[in-house]
């Protein structure tokens, strides 16, 4: 399989804080990759740097063979990569349908937009039912579906999900992971940051373990699940 | 009773103008966190355009759209030249930049036009009035109310039905996430300035229609009022700006009409005290902005 995304010596800084310290990883087409690690390990900073929401201090990012290191966020959705950010961040004062329409903002092809609506509404019938409701009035689980649906509207090849199960009831969390598998079956490549380590490793093919801005372990999900590096990343993580 | 009705019409006319100005400030603030004090100079530019059109013998009906278009172009240029370089700077830097733009423009008006107030030729009908059930209403007041309503309806449709309008609302709530959707920062910011210029242009026409003159500082006072109105309504909230503009208009007109003569000299402080009291009870304004409610990481 070919690398869809490949990252070399990526570093992210916030003033004096070194949030990500020169990490390397790659994501192959059709994979689900889990990014794990304690709070503050640098997982969100990594995803945000990939999509240009925070500046890349050094290193290179290559997507489909193209250097996208310093691309601004608005160029990535049209290129086929998007992020559903931590904390969902739906537009609360926009209706559900308006949120989804914004997800398709970058697409010019009318048929592609039509297909995106059908796909998202058939994945999430509840969003169709609530299409005229303000997104801010949805439940947490529904908002998460909307955040993922909105990201899917741009028809991404690579979808980055930052803590999609954050703050959701256990029953709903199961649905989120089912969705991740389903999307992969539909041909989407996924990178998922998760605090739910066990469930993440169950659906993922491979994982990377972050600690203090570095990748301290990586490998197939089944092997990582039992690794000491994973345990110490959570127990000893700063 | 008649006096009350009469003053209510006046309050709607003045409040509507404040609402348009406050909306112009709010559209820009909601998207880029900039309080544009040079908004008043957009009004002044529009006022001078009306004046020159009158001198050139262009009919008022044609001069109005020209004046509005000039304000829109000036607003977009202002963003390009002055605000884009400081776009990612602190709110204080942007605020100081807007003061600088405002002062530079005032100096240019003084040096290249005149330091003194210039007359603006207005059509006679604007100073006519009609009698409606015992009320004598100036046509300029009616024009102000109609223009305000038309602008509010236009803006509402634009923000709800147009893709760019929806994108502007999205960007106002969460700029970064909006960019993730492929919404270009330059597009929504230029759009916000164009809209604010349009609103300033319409407000300028209404303002000049009540006064028949324009001077280099014409925009200063109304924009300060609009700023108060925008805060009263909830800074960055469009509906709030409209509510704040009308409320401020009502406070000012009613105080001017109904405060006893011996207290008239305290009118402004009393009006501002009412604003402060409202803000004590509603610190985020009458209708707080959506970006305040949404969680940001
Ligand atoms: N905008 C910011 N400004 C300054 N420091 C930041 C900023 N964002 C993150 N950091 C710091 O960078 C480090 C990495 O944060 P990051 O959010 O990437 O971690 P994370 O692995 O996503 O954690 P969590 O699991 O809590 O989401 C932390 O020390 C954090 O305090
Ligand atoms: Mg995080």
Domains defined along chain A, listed by start: 3-235 (3.40.50.300)
Model pLDDT for residues B87-113, shown as the tens digit of each residue? 888 989 999 999 999 999 999 999 999
Q: What is the largest CA-CA distance in chain A?
A: 51
Confidence (pLDDT) at B297: 33
Q: Which two tokens stand for residue A187?
A: 């041909």
- pLDDT at position A184 over 90: yes
d(CA B50, CA A146) in angstroms, rounded, equals: 49
Ion ligand 2 nearby residues (CB, 5 A): A 44, 86
Q: How far is B76 from chain A (nearest CA, A)?
A: 21
- Cα nearest neighbour of A151 on chain B: B181
pTM of the model: 0.89
Per-residue pLDDT tens listing for chain B (297 residues): 688 889 999 999 999 999 999 999 999 999 989 999 999 999 999 999 999 999 999 999 999 999 999 999 999 999 999 999 998 889 899 999 999 999 999 999 999 999 999 999 999 888 888 888 888 889 999 999 999 999 999 999 999 999 999 999 999 999 999 999 999 999 999 999 999 999 999 999 999 999 999 999 999 999 999 999 999 999 989 999 999 999 999 999 999 999 999 999 999 999 999 999 999 999 999 999 877 654 333
The complex's ipTM works out to 0.92
Question: Residue holding tokens 């990201």?
Answer: A151
Q: How far is CA B84 from CA B76, B79, B80, B98, in A?
A: 10, 6, 5, 12
Taking the domains of chain B in order of start, what are their residue ranges?
Answer: 2-114+129-216
Nearest by CB to B166, from A53, A86, A98: name it.
A98
Distance B205 CA to ligand 1 centre (A): 50
Per-residue tokens: B141:
């007041």
- Ligand at shortest distance from the CA of A195: 1
The answer to whether A78 faces chain B, any CB pair under 8 Å, is yes
Inter-chain CB proximity A92 and B166 less than 8 Å: no
Give the pLDDT score at A227. Answer: 86
Nearest C-alpha to atom 28 of ligand 1 is from which residue?
A40
Please list every residue in chain A whose beta carbon sits closer than 8 Å to the beta carbon of residue B171. Answer: none
The model's confidence at residue A1, banded by pLDDT at 50, 70 and 90, is: low
Write down the pLDDT at residue B293: 52
- A35: pLDDT strictly greater than 50: yes
Contact A202, A179 (CB under 8 A): no
Q: What share of chain A is helix, strand, coil (3-state, %, to 5)?
A: 40, 30, 35
In 3D space, the residue among A2, A7, A155, A3 whose CA is nearest the CA of residue A67 turns out to be A7
**How far, in Å, CA of B261 to CA of A17, rounded?**
63
Nearest CA in chain A to B188: A74
Ligand 1 centroid–CA A201 distance in Å is: 23
CA distance B163 to chain A (A): 8
Interface of A with B in 15-54 (CB under 8 A): 44, 51, 53
The answer to whether the Cβ–Cβ distance between B181 and A106 falls below 8 Å is yes
In B41-106, where do the E strands start and end? Answer: none
If you average pLDDT over residues A39-47, what whole number do you get?
95
C-alpha distances in Å from residue B228, one per residue of A201, B44, B208: 55, 19, 21
A77 and A106 Cβ atoms separated by less than 8 Å: yes
**In percent, how much of chain A has pLDDT > 70?**
98
Residues in contact with ligand 1 (CB, 6 Å cut-off):
A 14, 17, 19, 37, 39-45, 86
Segment A178-207 shows an average pLDDT of 94
Class of residue A109 by CB neighbours under 10 A (exposed 0-12, middle 13-18, buried 19+)? exposed
Asked if residue A181 has pLDDT above 80, the reply is: yes
**Residues of chain B with a CB closer than 8 angstroms to some CB in chain A:** 163, 166-167, 169-170, 173-174, 176-185, 290, 293-297
pLDDT of residue B227: 96
Q: Ligand 1 centre and the CA of A192: distance in Å?
A: 16
Structural element, H or E, at residue B297: none
The closest-lying atom of ligand 1 relative to the alpha carbon of residue A86 is 27
Whether residue A55 lies within 8 A of chain B, CB to CB, comes out as no
For atom 24 of ligand 1, the residue with the nearest CA is A39
Tell me how far the alpha carbon of residue A51 lies from the centroid of ligand 1, in angstroms. Answer: 16
Chosen from B31, B174, B180 to mutate, greatest number of chain A CBs within 10 A: B180
pLDDT computed for residue B296 by the predictor: 37
User: Which atom from ligand 1 is nearest to the alpha carbon of A20?
Assistant: 14
Residue A230 confidence (pLDDT): 84
Q: What is the pLDDT of residue B126?
A: 87
Q: Tell me the chain A residues in contact with residue B297 when contact means C-beta distances shorter than 8 Å.
A: 44, 85-87, 89
* pLDDT value of position B292: 64
* Calpha distance A212→A229 (Å, rounded): 13
Task: Note the helical H segments in chain A.
Answer: 43-50, 76-79, 96-103, 110-123, 125-129, 140-152, 170-185, 197-203, 221-224, 228-235
Average pLDDT over residues A137-150: 94
């Amino acid at each position: 399989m070919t690398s869809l995304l490949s990252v070399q010596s990526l570093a992210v800084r916030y003033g004096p804080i070194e949030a990500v310290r020169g990490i390397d990883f790659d994501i192959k087409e059709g994979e689900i990759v889990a990014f794990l690690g304690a709070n503050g390990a640098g997982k969100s900073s990594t995803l945000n740097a990939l999509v240009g929401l925070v500046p890349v201090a050094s290193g290179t990012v290559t997507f489909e063979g193209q250097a996208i290191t310093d691309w601004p966020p608005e160029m990535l959705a049209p290129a086929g990569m998007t992020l559903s950010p931590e904390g969902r961040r739906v537009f609360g004062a926009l209706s559900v349908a308006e949120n989804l329409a914004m997800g398709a903002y970058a697409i010019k092809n009318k048929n592609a937009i039509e297909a995106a609506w059908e796909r998202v509404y058939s994945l999430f019938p509840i969003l169709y039912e609530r299409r005229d409701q303000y997104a801010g009035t949805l439940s947490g689980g529904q908002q998460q579906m909307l955040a993922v649906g909105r990201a899917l509207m741009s028809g991404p090849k690579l979808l980055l999900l930052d803590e999609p199960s954050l703050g959701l009831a256990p029953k709903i969390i199961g649905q989120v992971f089912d969705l991740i598998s389903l999307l992969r079956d539909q041909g989407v490549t996924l990178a998922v940051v998760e605090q739910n380590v066990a469930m993440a490793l169950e659906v993922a093919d491979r994982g990377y373990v972050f600690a203090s801005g570095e990748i301290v372990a990586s490998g197939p999900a089944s092997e990582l699940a039992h690794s000491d590096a994973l345990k110490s990343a959570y127990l000893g993580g700063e | 009773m008649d006096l009350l009705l009469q003053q209510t019409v006046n309050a709607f006319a003045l409040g509507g103008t404040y609402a348009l100005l406050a909306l112009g400030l709010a559209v820009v603030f909601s998207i880029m966190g900039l309080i544009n004090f040079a908004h008043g100079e957009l009004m002044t530019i529009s006022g001078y355009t009306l004046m020159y059109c009158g001198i050139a013998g262009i009919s008022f009906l044609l001069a109005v759209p020209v004046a509005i278009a000039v304000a829109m172009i000036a607003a977009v240029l202002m963003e390009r030249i002055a605000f884009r370089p400081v776009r990612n700077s602190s709110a204080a830097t942007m605020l100081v930049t807007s003061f600088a733009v405002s002062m530079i423009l005032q100096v240019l008006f003084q040096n290249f036009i005149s330091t003194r107030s210039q007359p603006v030729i207005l059509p006679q009908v604007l100073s006519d009035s009609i009698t409606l059930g015992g009320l004598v209403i100036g046509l300029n007041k009616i024009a102000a109310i109609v223009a305000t309503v038309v602008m509010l309806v236009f803006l509402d449709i634009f923000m709800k039905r147009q893709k760019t309008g929806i994108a502007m609302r999205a960007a106002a709530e969460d700029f970064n996430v909006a960019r993730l959707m492929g919404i270009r920062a330059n597009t929504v910011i230029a759009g916000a300035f164009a809209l604010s210029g349009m609103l300033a242009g319409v407000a300028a026409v209404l303002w000049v229609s009540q006064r028949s003159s324009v001077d280099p500082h014409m925009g200063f006072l109304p924009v300060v009022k609009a700023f108060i109105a925008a805060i009263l309504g909830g800074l960055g909230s469009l509906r709030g700006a409209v509510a704040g503009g009308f409320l401020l208009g009502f406070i000012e007109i009613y105080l001017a009409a109904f405060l006893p003569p011996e207290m008239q000299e305290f009118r402004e402080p009393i009006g501002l005290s009412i604003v402060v009291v409202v803000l004590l009870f509603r610190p985020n304004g009458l209708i707080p902005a959506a970006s305040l409610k949404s969680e940001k990481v």
